[in-house]
Amino acid sequence: MRKSAQISVLIATLLGMSPGVSLAQQASTVQTPTFRSQSELVQIPVLVRRSGKHLAGLNAGDFTVLEDGVIQRIARFEEVSTPDQPAQWQEPAMGTFTNDLWQANGPGRVTILVFDLLNTPFVKQTYLRDSLMRFLDALPARHDPIMLAAFTAKGLKIVHFFTTDPAVLRAAVAKMKSHMSEVERSSELARSKEEATQAAISVVESQNGGHAEADDPEVKRLKELFQTVSDQHVQRLDLHRTELTLLMMQQLAQSLSGIPGRKSMVWATGGIAYTRGSDSVESPTPGPHKTEGLADTQIAEGNDLFDSTWRKLSDANIAVYVVDLEELTNPGYTDASFQASQVQSLRVTRGYGLRAQAMNGFTDKTGGSYCPLQQNLQNCFTNAMEDSGRYYMLAYYPVKGKQGWRRLKVRVANPGARVHTRSGYYFRGREEHHEIREGEVAQALASPLEATGIPVSMRWTQPKAGDAVKPEMRWLEIVIDPKAITIESDNQNHFYLSVTAASRNEKGEYKGELAKKVEGRLHPEDLKTVLAKGFVFRDSIVIPPGEIDVRFVVRDEISGRIGSVTAKLLQ
């Protein structure tokens, strides 16, 4: 918490609790009803095809789910077939701000088209835009919502929020302009061998006052030095670009996690930098890793960011469809564990091995597909949309254990059926590095989209009799959907939430932030109240002059789910 924060969050009161009594004091030894949070479930969207078409009519008994080779009992099963009906948004009540905008039946097939301006060369951007325009021109009249986003050097940009009108998206795409990518900018900084040699010769000649040859020992030494410094600088730029790309991916995952069902994300990219080390990405260890020639944090952030990005995409049931705008040949499948004894940091486009690992890392971990450049891009877009239209959703309760990746395999007892799903999921343990929590909240605060993992609504209220009123104080009420919160029935209905508030001015600057945590155990009667009415917090905050809105971020500290809502300040 920053001391300079101007927002003061006072004591929150949970609806239904007796005043003056702590939550821990209200814990009861009375047997509580069995209540398992839905957030404990492992959900697996499964595509089943035969002869290229969806295989309908299967039941739970036709499926076998294995986690690390052990058969799991399917707790929930559904064949999903999204109806061709208009996606409708809920209109919040007057004066209420919420991140829960979809109607109860969900939006149907959801597709996100990501135009990667950060990592795609200028010429390929034009090709992608033309292909996308042709796809939208040929898109049949349906009611499926599509969002268009762009990765830029300044962060995630929402070109157009969800719409079911292809013409509206086409107009938005037509307005997009190609830009010189950061890949091309960093490449311009790299010294070629010839440039490094000429620079070294010039230095030696100026020192000796005479002629120098390329094979001069001092020239060779300086040439290697110039190239090393140049390569390290480009490498740092590549790693920064990778970090920014992955963080934008995580922001999209946060914003889509509350939308039910399988979502398709088409990521059209020219490739990103990838760092790998002696630690397997599937079993990351928080903290720095010593590596020759690179800053400690670069390797740690590279591994951890790839891992956490795949985890967030997988948890949100987002399948990533990689459109590789630099690929010349299909890299095929490569194990995404990325185990290696030697650290390498290269742009994906500079090596087929690293390209295959990075690109298939996204598709393998999320259940998406790979689309090389030579394929018809319109078909890639169409397939991504169709895959989220008909599929099976399986779910089971995992056995608690060590934190880390767990392998998934799904079998179908039907001759000729082909199964496609993600290769695993990340089991979240109770212990979590504090930097992960802080980073996720910071992303939610800075994102152009609301996080939807926890439905949250908020409204400004009036002080009650006896409340201490101060200048610039605002009163509020926050309601949190209990179905998205982990309530541990085997631990006296234990819950643990954090609420962060940050005010923003007209320049988009956050003046400060303040976080508070609410942890307790619910008495059986209080549990009934919470399940019926939600977690209701009444609070007050002091907001400095010049602010235009306040963003509230709620995080379930047990499951890691996040929800956010931005409330405009009413004059």
Amino acid found at 555: R
Q: Which residue, among 452, 486, 477, has the nearest Cα to 563 in the 3D structure?
A: 452
Q: Please report how the helices 352-366 and 296-315 are oriented relative to each other, as an axis angle in degrees rounded to 10.
A: 40
Does the pLDDT at position 24 exceed 50?
no
d(CA 333, CA 399): 29
d(CA 351, CA 380): 24
Does the pLDDT at position 286 exceed 90?
no
Q: Judge whether 522 and 21 are in contact, CB under 8 Å.
A: no
The tens digit of pLDDT for each residue in 521-536 reads 999 999 999 999 999 9
Q: Supply the pLDDT for residue 55.
A: 96
Q: Which residue, among 164, 144, 253, has the nearest Cα to 562 in the 3D structure?
A: 253
Q: Supply the pLDDT for residue 183.
A: 60
Work out the burial of residue 527: count CB atoms within 10 Å of its CB; fewer than 13 is exposed, 13-18 middle, 19 or more buried.
buried
Q: Supply the pLDDT for residue 46.
A: 97
Assign 45 to helix, strand or coil. Answer: strand
Q: Catalogue all structural domains in the chain, each as residue range(s) with its CATH number.
A: 8-37+434-568 (2.60.40.2150), 43-91+390-427 (no CATH), 111-184+229-387 (3.40.50.410), 190-228 (no CATH)
* % residues pLDDT > 90 (the chain): 36
Confidence of residue 225 (pLDDT cuts 50, 70, 90): low
Phi, psi angle pair for 419, to nearest 5°: -110, 135
Does the pLDDT at position 493 exceed 70?
yes
Q: Supply the pLDDT for residue 334.
A: 35
DSSP 414: S
Does the pLDDT at position 450 exceed 90?
yes
Q: And the tokens for 307?
A: 């891992």
| Average pLDDT score over residue span 128-152 | 86
For 92, the enclosing helix (H) or strand (E) is none
Q: Supply the pLDDT for residue 119.
A: 86
Amino acid found at 105: N
Q: Supply the pLDDT for residue 348.
A: 37
Confidence of residue 58 (pLDDT cuts 50, 70, 90): very high
Q: Supply the pLDDT for residue 20.
A: 29
Q: What is the dihedral of CA 56, 61, 67, 69, to 10 degrees?
A: -110
Q: Supply the pLDDT for residue 410.
A: 97
Confidence of residue 6 (pLDDT cuts 50, 70, 90): very low
Phi, psi angle pair for 240, to nearest 5°: -65, -40
Q: Please, what is the Cα angle at 371 between 369 and 372, to 5 degrees? A: 145
Task: Point out which residues pair with 476 in neighbouring strands.
Answer: 460, 539
Confidence of residue 470 (pLDDT cuts 50, 70, 90): confident
Does the pLDDT at position 341 exceed 60?
no
Confidence of residue 262 (pLDDT cuts 50, 70, 90): very high
pTM over 0.75: yes
Phi, psi angle pair for 104, to nearest 5°: -60, -30
d(CA 170, CA 387): 22
Does the pLDDT at position 184 exceed 60?
no
Most confident of 161-175, 226-240, 286-300, 537-551: 161-175
Does the pLDDT at position 306 exceed 70?
yes
| Average pLDDT score over residue span 541-560 | 88
What residues contact 301, with CB distance under 8 A and at least 6 apart? 239, 243
Least confident of 13-17, 77-81, 103-107, 377-381: 13-17
> Is the pLDDT higher at 162 or at 283?
162
Q: Supply the pLDDT for residue 330.
A: 40
| E strand map for 205-317 | 263-269, 273-276
Q: What is the mean pLDDT of the chain?
A: 76
Confidence of residue 146 (pLDDT cuts 50, 70, 90): very high
What residues contact 188, with CB distance under 8 A and at least 6 apart? none
Q: Which residue, among 500, 497, 537, has the nearest Cα to 515 in the 3D structure?
A: 500
Confidence of residue 75 (pLDDT cuts 50, 70, 90): very high
d(CA 396, CA 427): 13
Does the pLDDT at position 281 exceed 60?
no
| Average pLDDT score over residue span 96-115 | 81
| Average pLDDT score over residue span 363-370 | 93
Does the pLDDT at position 452 exceed 70?
yes
Most confident of 232-241, 353-362, 423-432: 423-432
| Average pLDDT score over residue span 140-168 | 89
Most confident of 43-57, 197-211, 280-294: 43-57
Q: Rounded to whole angstroms, what are the CA distances from 321 to 152, 181, 545?
A: 19, 21, 45
Pairing of strands 263-269, 318-324: parallel
Q: And the tokens for 36?
A: 């398992």
d(CA 273, CA 161): 28
| E strand map for 325-455 | 344-347, 370-372, 390-396, 404-412, 418-420, 424-427
Q: Rounded to whole angstroms, what are the CA distances from 278 to 42, 157, 274, 345?
A: 29, 35, 14, 13
For 300, the enclosing helix (H) or strand (E) is helix 296-315
Least confident of 13-22, 270-279, 296-305, 351-360: 13-22
Does the pLDDT at position 202 exceed 90?
no
Q: Supply the pLDDT for residue 186.
A: 55
> Is the pLDDT higher at 303 or at 250?
250
Look up tokens 């889509």; give the residue: 256
| Average pLDDT score over residue span 164-186 | 78
How many other C-beta atoms are found inside a 10 Å radius of the C-beta of residue 410?
Answer: 18
Least confident of 40-49, 168-177, 182-191, 317-326: 182-191
Q: Please report how the helices 122-138 and 377-387 are oriented relative to each other, as an axis angle in degrees rounded to 10.
A: 60
> Is the pLDDT higher at 491 or at 213?
491
d(CA 194, CA 214): 10
Cα-only R_g, the chain: 26
